[in-house]
A and B are shown apart, each in its own frame.
Chain A
Amino acid sequence: MSERFETHPSDVLVIGAGGAGLRAAIEASAKGARTALVCKSLLGKAHTVMAEGGIAAALAHVDAQDSWQTHFRDTMRGGGMLNHWRMAQLHAQEAPDRVRELEQWGAVFDRTRDGRILQRPFGGHTYRRLAHVGDRTGLEMIRTLQDKGVHQGIDVYMECTVTHLLRDGDRVVGAFGYWRESGRFVVFPAKAVVLATGGIGKAWSVTSNSWEYTADGHALAYRAGAELIDMEFVQFHPTGMVWPPGVRGILVTEAVRAEGGILRNSKGERFMWRYLPEEKRPDFSKDEAQAKEWLADHIAGRSPDFKKRPPELSTRDNVARAIYTENREGRGSPHGGVFLDVSYLPAEHVVKKLPSMYHQFKDLADVDITKEPMEVGPTCHYAMGGVRVDPDSGKSTVPGLFAAGEVSGGMHGANRLGGNSLSDLLVFGRRAGLGAAEAAGKAPAPKIDADATAAAERELLAFFANTGEDPYAIHHDLQEAMQALVGIFRTQEDLEKSVGKLEELRARASRARVTGSRLYNPGWHLAFDLRNMIDAAEMVARAALERQESRGAHSRLDFPKADPAFGKVNISIRRRDGGMEVVRTALPAMPEEMRKLFEEKK
């Protein structure tokens, strides 16, 4: 054991305290594992609080026809059939229990008239499926899990950043990091480690993601030798704020469209009908009258005909491309977005169902959404790709290492449906917690390699002796490069350019200069985070180059159609001999009884 550093041993170490990390920690601790939870921010501030619209679960409270099978089918179709079928199955089957459990732990969801959990419609979901609390569902979820975890006796280490996974041979046996407050180093020996670090969105300039989303888990797993999949699929949420400049990218929940929000271009056209894929047209309203009928039924609490859904409820990849295209063709709003309008609805409905959107626009943009339309445009939101995991246990390809939530890959395929993230966090957070607790029970006592911790320390302190640029300038350039070259629409030329650019940025980042002391020094923190973001950005660019087709969130202008051959493979990434290896791996085969679910409902 490394006595030079403050040391906190545990059976299960969970890195990240958003929905997945908290749920994993609760489960591991309930199984009797001594559980440590490390997070970069204060407890309860994780990015999950920004989730707004709801948790997708086929509870069938408002549309009795709903079932896990339909949820499964919606999820797979939304993901371009690239999802790991077993993850999509477990997710659809277990989400209702996870929601009910959350309620029993104290979450207060909006209610149906008969007093049960209310559900709202969302893009890509056939039926009204999202359990929600107005438009602050994520806050409710994180607060509930936080309470549950704290009272269950989990050791929480707040404002602590993990920078290295420690290994004994191939096996992950703990982590090394620093306290943000003091800058002192700390070692967490553990029999099993769960990554629940969230996403990578801070590598783009227009993003809904908070400062924490610096791809830490993606990079930690990569450096530990784990396999990552589907990194080319980055979700641009269609509706982020676009004006004023300081709020550009901040999320405007999909619930706005679910509660009747209409998208229009500068000519006043309701353009989404034009962008519905041919095969999905039968699932949507044909005209204004049908869409109106659907909305009236929804608002009145009647069960609306799902074949009359408004076209705004198409999947996110599709709506984001539509908004981008409207702008490219000169029909955008003054600040480069389009108009999203709920002002024609009763003001009470808007304020009741979308309270935080109401305040967000009023306080930050001087827009009263009950009286005038919002201006919105795409914003980098979610990484579908991540650590390849065993669906049942969350096990990665590296012994001792587990992953859950956004940092894992496979569940959402090429495009995630709104509402499927919060349910993913609960279903697979729990499973990873179980898996890790079980593995910890069989694992030997962790052996910490003093050379590894010393090397980690040297690497982090080296920044103080550097003479290069300020890390903020490098971060800015990284964000601009990714936004310009690896955005919604991609080409071989841009992607190749981005790979070169990232090499350059990596060299600059290694020379980044840090001034000041080790006490709460954001410049120092960013200097290291840059490495993680650049690693993940390179994975995205290389995977995007490899996938020569368009599918889900990955749109290649030079390969505009889906290619059935690519529909059978994941792009896998792993570190080999110090370099990034990119290969195609066969998609796990779906068993006959699951495949049948698609044939019956053609």
Chain B
Amino acid sequence: MSATEAVFRVFRGGREGGEMREYRVPVSPGMVVLDAVHWIQAHGAPDLAVRWNCKAAKCGSCSAEVNGKPRLMCKSRLDSLPLDRPVVVRPMKTFPVIKDLVTDVSWNFEAAKRIPPFTPRPGVEWKYDQADADRVQEFRKCIECFLCQNVCHVLREHDKKGAFVGPAMLVRAAGYELHPLDGLTRTGFLREQGGIGLCNITKCCTEVCPESIRITDNAIIPLKERVVDDFYDPLRWLWRKVTGKG
């Protein structure tokens, strides 16, 4: 890495609007955007608002848009960005700004509450194969960074938060629905409150997932298939209801 200093343009403001402000930050090896934001806080902008916790891509708190690309700031290495021009850091667009880089993501928590939770089949024996665990564990890697919600055009461009729970919540639902010992059918929820039909599989969500969850292929499409089966193929619905098998 050659640059010794980088220029950052960071959104400063709140609900009423704001401005992009410029900061010069010394660059050190391996530095990430979140390091730069912390440096800015400690050197002249102590009230710069940012969410973060683990700084290791495990908690999903520091989501933002870096040079227009939604990503975790703790995983955005400066040596992967062109430093001959300013690094632009903005809050996620899909959620209302609270202040600076912090957005109001409470809608996601409300949406999560509505998903019918994991409900084991009564009297089940708590045994299943690793292969079955693998399938569900992919969804349970979700760190709730909401970057997929942020890029989903149904939410981002069309703001259909009332009609569609978004990819992150479909991943969550898939985690329950495909659990080998789950005994509940969520297809009614998915079709109605979940609004799964609104997803037209553009895969933008999959592209931004920092956990590399194949959201569209492994979560959304299988759920869509279950919805189709249940609402248009009553025999298969009955079969699954009786056997608990997908």
A150 within 8 A of B: yes
- With the chains together, A517 CA to B55 CA distance in Å? 26
A212 within 8 A of B: yes
Chain B window 9-40, contacts with chain A (Cβ cutoff 8 Å), 1 for yes, 0 for no: 00000100000000000001111100100000
Chain B window 62-101, contacts with chain A (Cβ cutoff 8 Å), 1 for yes, 0 for no: 0000000000000101000000000000000000001110
A175 within 8 A of B: no
- With the chains together, A472 CA to B48 CA distance in Å? 12
Of the four ranges (under 10, 10 to 19, 20 to 34, 35 or more), the interface on chain B belongs to: 35 or more
| A523 and chain B: residue at smallest CB distance | B46
A520 near B143: Cβ-Cβ < 8 Å: no
B10 to chain A, nearest CB (A): 14
B30 near A45: Cβ-Cβ < 8 Å: no
Measured between beta carbons, the chain B residues less than 8 angstroms from A46 are 53
A41 within 8 A of B: yes
A576 within 8 A of B: no
Stretch at the interface among B126-134, B155-163, B191-199, B200-208: B126-134
B7 within 8 A of A: no
The residue among A105, A246, A359, A366 with the most chain B CB atoms within 10 A of its own CB is A246
A116 within 8 A of B: yes
A91 within 8 A of B: no
A181 near B53: Cβ-Cβ < 8 Å: no
A147 within 8 A of B: yes
A573 within 8 A of B: no
A516 near B56: Cβ-Cβ < 8 Å: no
Q: List 14 A-B contacts (CB under 8 A).
A: A41-B61, A45-B59, A45-B60, A45-B61, A49-B143, A104-B126, A133-B140, A147-B117, A151-B117, A211-B53, A245-B30, A250-B55, A473-B42, A520-B102
A360 near B56: Cβ-Cβ < 8 Å: yes
Partner of B105, one of A42, A104, A151: A42
Measured between beta carbons, the chain A residues less than 8 angstroms from B143 are 49, 139
B55 near A247: Cβ-Cβ < 8 Å: yes
The residue among A44, A45, A473, A517 with the most chain B CB atoms within 10 A of its own CB is A45
B109 within 8 A of A: yes
- With the chains together, A46 CA to B54 CA distance in Å? 9
B56 near A364: Cβ-Cβ < 8 Å: yes
B140 near A104: Cβ-Cβ < 8 Å: no
Given contacts A104-B120, A147-B117, A515-B47, contact A211 B126 (CB under 8 A): no
A522 near B48: Cβ-Cβ < 8 Å: yes
Of the four ranges (under 10, 10 to 19, 20 to 34, 35 or more), the interface on chain A belongs to: 35 or more
A42 near B117: Cβ-Cβ < 8 Å: no
Partner of B130, one of A45, A111, A210: A111
Measured between beta carbons, the chain B residues less than 8 angstroms from A356 are 57-58
| A48 and chain B: residue at smallest CB distance | B59
Measured between beta carbons, the chain B residues less than 8 angstroms from A460 are none
B53 near A47: Cβ-Cβ < 8 Å: yes
A564 within 8 A of B: no
Given contacts A45-B61, A246-B31, A520-B98, contact A143 B140 (CB under 8 A): yes
- With the chains together, A515 CA to B113 CA distance in Å? 38
- With the chains together, A100 CA to B136 CA distance in Å? 18
B31 near A519: Cβ-Cβ < 8 Å: no
Assuming A49-B59, A251-B56, A517-B47, what are 14 further A-B pairs, CB within 8 angstroms? A41-B51, A42-B61, A103-B126, A104-B126, A108-B136, A108-B137, A116-B126, A139-B58, A150-B109, A212-B53, A244-B31, A245-B29, A247-B30, A520-B49
| A360 and chain B: residue at smallest CB distance | B56
Measured between beta carbons, the chain A residues less than 8 angstroms from B77 are 363-364
- With the chains together, A478 CA to B14 CA distance in Å? 32
Q: Closest 7 A-B residue pairs measured CB to CB?
A: A244-B30, A516-B47, A523-B46, A115-B127, A106-B118, A472-B42, A520-B49
Measured between beta carbons, the chain B residues less than 8 angstroms from A147 are 117-118
A111 near B128: Cβ-Cβ < 8 Å: yes
Measured between beta carbons, the chain A residues less than 8 angstroms from B32 are 246, 364
- With the chains together, A316 CA to B162 CA distance in Å? 50
Measured between beta carbons, the chain A residues less than 8 angstroms from B46 are 470-472, 514-516, 521-523, 526
A355 to chain B, nearest CB (A): 8
A309 within 8 A of B: no
A524 within 8 A of B: yes
B224 within 8 A of A: no
A520 near B29: Cβ-Cβ < 8 Å: no
| A527 and chain B: residue at smallest CB distance | B46
| B143 and chain A: residue at smallest CB distance | A139
Measured between beta carbons, the chain B residues less than 8 angstroms from A30 are none
Measured between beta carbons, the chain B residues less than 8 angstroms from A244 are 28-31
Partner of A108, one of B35, B105, B133: B133
B183 to chain A, nearest CB (A): 12
- With the chains together, A114 CA to B129 CA distance in Å? 7
- With the chains together, A49 CA to B144 CA distance in Å? 12
B39 to chain A, nearest CB (A): 10
The residue among B30, B35, B50, B176 with the most chain A CB atoms within 10 A of its own CB is B30
B41 to chain A, nearest CB (A): 6
| B34 and chain A: residue at smallest CB distance | A246
B127 near A50: Cβ-Cβ < 8 Å: no
A525 to chain B, nearest CB (A): 10
B52 within 8 A of A: yes
B179 within 8 A of A: yes
- With the chains together, A519 CA to B18 CA distance in Å? 14
Chain A window 516-556, contacts with chain B (Cβ cutoff 8 Å), 1 for yes, 0 for no: 11011111101000000000000000000000000000000
| B101 and chain A: residue at smallest CB distance | A520
Measured between beta carbons, the chain A residues less than 8 angstroms from B176 are 106
B184 to chain A, nearest CB (A): 11
Measured between beta carbons, the chain B residues less than 8 angstroms from A139 are 58, 140-141, 143
A364 to chain B, nearest CB (A): 7
B72 to chain A, nearest CB (A): 10
B58 near A50: Cβ-Cβ < 8 Å: yes
B48 to chain A, nearest CB (A): 7
B228 within 8 A of A: no
A43 within 8 A of B: yes
A110 within 8 A of B: yes
A199 to chain B, nearest CB (A): 14
A109 near B58: Cβ-Cβ < 8 Å: no
B102 to chain A, nearest CB (A): 6
The residue among A47, A103, A181, A365 with the most chain B CB atoms within 10 A of its own CB is A181
A259 within 8 A of B: no
B6 within 8 A of A: no
- With the chains together, A136 CA to B77 CA distance in Å? 23
- With the chains together, A181 CA to B105 CA distance in Å? 12
B137 near A42: Cβ-Cβ < 8 Å: no
A382 within 8 A of B: no
Measured between beta carbons, the chain B residues less than 8 angstroms from A140 are 140
The residue among A365, A366, A476, A520 with the most chain B CB atoms within 10 A of its own CB is A520
A79 within 8 A of B: no
A110 near B133: Cβ-Cβ < 8 Å: yes
- With the chains together, A44 CA to B146 CA distance in Å? 13
Given contacts A45-B59, A49-B58, A106-B179, contact A521 B51 (CB under 8 A): no
